Amino acid sequence: MKQAIFLLLLLSNISSYGQLNCNAFLYNGDSLQYKACKLVERVEKKYYQFSKEYQEGLDKALEIYPYFAYAYREKAAPYVKSGDFITWKKLIDKAVEYDPLQYLGVRASLRYKFFADYKGAIADIEQLDSMVTYDIGPTSNGTYHLNVVKALCHKELGKKRNAIEILVNQIETETYIGAFDYLHLGVLYLNTQMYDEAIAAFEKQKEQNNLAENHYYSAMVFKEIGQIENCIELLKEAKILYEDGYHMHDPYSQLIDEIYLEDIEKELKTAYHTR
């Protein structure tokens, strides 16, 4: 039920993950925001996101309606992609100010992804969660549920037990299971010497989304408990999967727990010398 309510609210106005719905403003009697929205629609169809004309078009929309959160968010997007994080932050803060329900999650996602601002991301997620009664949903690119981001932020801050609790609770809700959720949980168990739990999590990850990382970290469990032959076999499987393209990847940043081919080859070399 919570998930259905979230989707209805998301679709009723402006989706952070899709196209504008200008008619929602007209339906609510907001003619100024409707006019600004239609202008943004034209700008987005006509101009490249990194062009001067694109930014000027959004500025004109904001002259019509200065509180149009979506326009601020779209103005911010090319700045975060190009690495101008100071300008991005000023603009995304405006989007959050005028529409916190839509853009707190977006800001949290990007704080986590690009800035390693883990405390700021946690604060945004917790603020959003305190404001709604429905499921707070996924990140702006759909990779994770925001609660998984919160768990990963706790992990990076050294609070692994907190991260495990948050991640387990999220997985148990079954509202949104991400492509890497069980992998991250397994690595957290590995990091806290909970080896049986780690293997169980990696088995679930294998069923859902079989990746080189899954076999690599499974191998690390067997390395820790002294089962070197099992470690070697899993590393061999990890190498095959990696070379076939079955591994974590993001076009903009390195993902937490992502590995590289040299990581696998280094561990294989060590394992061969150990047995």
Give the pLDDT confidence of 244-263 residue by residue, as tens digits.
Answer: 999 999 988 899 999 999 99
Cα 26 from Cα 23, distance rounded (Å): 5
The dotted CATH code for 2-142 is 1.25.40.10
Give the Å distances, CA to CA, from 256 to 113, 144, 149, 203.
10, 12, 10, 19
pLDDT tens digits for range 93-110: 999 999 999 999 999 999
Q: What percent of the chain has pLDDT over 70?
A: 93
pLDDT tens digits for range 52-81: 999 999 999 999 999 999 999 999 999 998
Cα 52 from Cα 36, distance rounded (Å): 18
The pLDDT of residue 10: 35
- For residue 59, give the amino acid letter: D
Cα 40 from Cα 63, distance rounded (Å): 12
Rounded-to-5 percentages of helix, strand, coil across the chain: 70, 0, 30
In terms of Cα–Cα distance, which of 172, 54, 117 is closest to 107?
117
The dotted CATH code for 179-274 is 1.25.40.10
Residue listed under structure tokens 């326009």: 71
Residues of the chain with CATH 1.25.40.10: 2-142, 179-274
Cα 90 from Cα 87, distance rounded (Å): 5
Question: In DSSP terms, which residues pair with 145 in a beta bridge?
Answer: 138
pLDDT tens digits for range 184-222: 999 999 999 999 999 999 999 999 999 999 999 999 999
**pTM for the whole structure:** 0.89
Cα 267 from Cα 176, distance rounded (Å): 33
